[in-house]
Amino acid sequence: MNASELGIVELQRALAQRELSCADHVEALIARTEAAAGLNGYVDFDPAPLRAQARQADAQRAAGTALPLLGIPIALKDNIDTADLPTSAGTGALRGKRPKADAEIVRRLKAAGAIVAGKANMHELAFGITCNNAVTGAARNPWAPDRIPGGSSGGSAVVVAAGLVPAAIGTDTGASVRLPAALCGVAGLRPTVGRVPGRGIAPIASTRDTAGPIARSVEDLALLDAVLTGDATPVPDASLAGLRLGIPRERFWGELDAPVAAVMDDALQRLRAAGVVLVEVALPGLDALNDATGFPVALFEFLDEMPRYLRDAGHGVDIAQLLAGIGSPDVAGILRPLLAGGAIPEAVYRGALETRGQLQRLYRDTFESNAVRALVFPTSPLTARPIGQDETVEFNGRQVPTFLAFIRNTDPGSNAGIPGISLPAGIASDGLPVGLALDAPAGSDRQLLGIAAAIERVLPRAAMPSIS
Question: Which three-class secondary structure state does DSSP give residue 196?
Answer: coil
Q: Average pLDDT, stretch 416-433?
A: 98
With CA atoms as reference, report the closest residue to 435 among 400, 403, 459. Answer: 459
Provide the pLDDT for residue 1. 67
pLDDT band at 4; cut points 50, 70, 90 = confident
Instruction: Check 4, 88, 152, 153 and give the catalytic one.
Output: 152
CA gap 357, 365 in Å, rounded? 12
Mean pLDDT of the chain: 97
pLDDT of residue 411 exceeding 80: yes
For the cut 90, the answer to whether the pLDDT of residue 278 exceeds it is yes
As a whole number of angstroms, the distance between CA 142 and CA 161 comes to 7
Predicted pLDDT at 2: 87
Catalytic, out of 21, 77, 88, 328 = 77
3, pLDDT greater than 90? no
pLDDT at position 207:
98
In 3-state terms, what secondary structure has residue 108? helix
The torsion defined by the Cα of 395, 398, 401 and 407, in degrees rounded to 10, comes to: -20
Catalytic residue among 156, 176, 217, 414: 176
Condensed to tens digits (0 to 9), the pLDDT of residues 82-134 reads 999 999 999 999 999 999 999 999 999 999 999 999 999 999 999 999 999 99
Contact, 129 vs 190, CB < 8 A? no
Sheet containing 420-427: order of strands: 42-44, 115-120, 73-77, 167-172, 210-215, 187-190, 420-427, 433-439, 374-378, 244-247, 277-280
**Amino acid 389: pLDDT:** 97
In the chain, what percentage of residues exceed pLDDT 70?
100
3 state DSSP class of 75: strand
| Band (467; pLDDT cuts 50, 70, 90) | confident
pLDDT over 70 (residue 248): yes
Give mean pLDDT, residues 286-294: 98
Contacts of 298 (CB under 8 A, 6+ apart): 173, 174, 204, 205, 208
The DSSP output letter for 72 is -
pLDDT recorded at residue 322 = 98
Task: Indicate if 176 belongs to the active site.
Answer: yes
Q: pLDDT at position 272, please?
A: 98
0.75 exceeded by pTM: yes
pLDDT average, residue stretch 165-172:
98
pLDDT at 341 over 90: no
* Annotation says 152 is catalytic: yes
Q: Is 77 a catalytic residue?
A: yes
Q: Percent of the chain having pLDDT more than 90?
A: 96
DSSP string, 366-422: HHHHHT-SEEEEES-SS---BTT--SEEEETTEEEEHHHHHHTTTHHHHHHT--EEE
